[in-house]
Amino acid sequence: MEAAARGAKEAGGLVVGVLPGEKMEANPYVGIAIATGMGHARNVIIVKSADAVIALPGEHGTLSEMALALKMKKRVISLHSWEIPGTIKANTPQEAVRLLDQLDLQSDPSLRK
């Protein structure tokens, strides 16, 4: 996740890291480190705090986050990640963001310009 954090910070974003362990484990691009000491159980906090999930290639932790998001009725975009029913496939980061924007406009007409 360091690459995603680096990209977000370099684009001017504030990176919040919900960590499985301690604050000292955060990568150098994390601006706010939340130490949970919960291991994989912290995936619930991550998904519950999100409006939507863009899943990148990963292992079973990624699959867990995707499943939790689907159970919580969150939108899930799969960017070269697990292909499971209920997710939306994207081929590029730009497409993933565009898809989320389109879904937001469809679900909340007040966001239309």
Q: Which tens digits make up the pLDDT trace of 34-59?
A: 999 999 999 999 999 999 999 999 99
Sole residue written with tokens 């939108």: 75
The model carries a pTM of 0.83
The 10s digit of each residue's pLDDT in 88-107 is 999 999 999 999 988 876 66
Does the pLDDT at position 109 exceed 60? no
**Cβ proximity of 55 and 62 under 8 Å:** yes
